[in-house]
Amino acid sequence: MSKILQENFFLSGGQYTALIPFDEAFRAWYPIDWGFNPFQVDSFLRQTLLNHFLVGAVDQSNVVDGATFKTLGGEDVTFHRRGNVLSVNGIELLEGGTPIDHGTMLFIDQLLFVDRDKVDELNEEYPFLESGPLLPAPWYESQFLSHALRTLSEREEYTYMVEYMNATHELGSYAPGYGIKSTCTFPPLL
């Protein structure tokens, strides 16, 4: 966020509306233990953040149904009112607008312009950002060594190293975290 503020998207003295997603909106797209994290793609993170700011202070109580605004990221957002419920691009606003010195904060529980198709597209374009599953065997104390053994086992040029690692089970005792008691037991990888 600080990089975006330094890029002069916000005019000094200008009025803005921030559509603030709750933390859960971001967590919905984070991998639980392993997988693809779209927020590691700088351009995506930048665009996502900019698409949550509108030029001008939007007063939640006076927004008319169908009002459209442009985000700092260049996308259009449309507000709809059904009774007392106000939504933006189909996402219901959760709390009343909060006026601040240079605009307004509105709260939402989802990210704008982020969906499964977009995240899948990013995953295809940036596959190197996807983390692998944790491998506890054969060294529970060192997932790195366990992962290295599995990776090296798949390559013929490392057969000697794999044989050495299989024959040296105490290798894991030299890894950081050794001595942590675990209730899990795993058979050696052969």
Domain ranges of the chain: 2-129, 134-190
Q: Residues 83-126: pLDDT tens digits?
A: 889 999 999 998 678 888 889 999 999 999 999 999 999 999 99
What distance lies between CA 25 and its chain's CA centroid?
9
Predicted confidence at residue 190, as pLDDT, reads 47
Kindly tell me if the per-residue pLDDT of 155 is higher than 70. yes
Rounded average pLDDT over 176-190 = 48
Q: Closest by alpha carbon to 113, among 105, 102, 103, 121?
A: 121
pLDDT for res 5: 53
pLDDT at 39 over 50: yes
pLDDT the model gives residue 71: 95
What pLDDT does 170 receive? 67
16-21 sheet: strands from edge to edge: 53-55, 16-21, 103-108, 91-100, 85-88, 76-82, 68-70
- The 10s digit of each residue's pLDDT in 44-95 is 999 999 999 999 889 888 899 999 999 999 999 999 999 889 999 999 998 6
Strand partners, 99: 104
User: Closest by alpha carbon to 92, among 108, 77, 78, 104?
Assistant: 108
Q: Whole-model pTM? A: 0.68
CB atoms closer than 10 angstroms to residue 140: 19
Contact 146, 135 (CB under 8 A): yes
In sequence order, the β-bridge partners of residue 100 are 103
Domain covering 2-129 assigned CATH 2.30.180.10 in the classification = yes
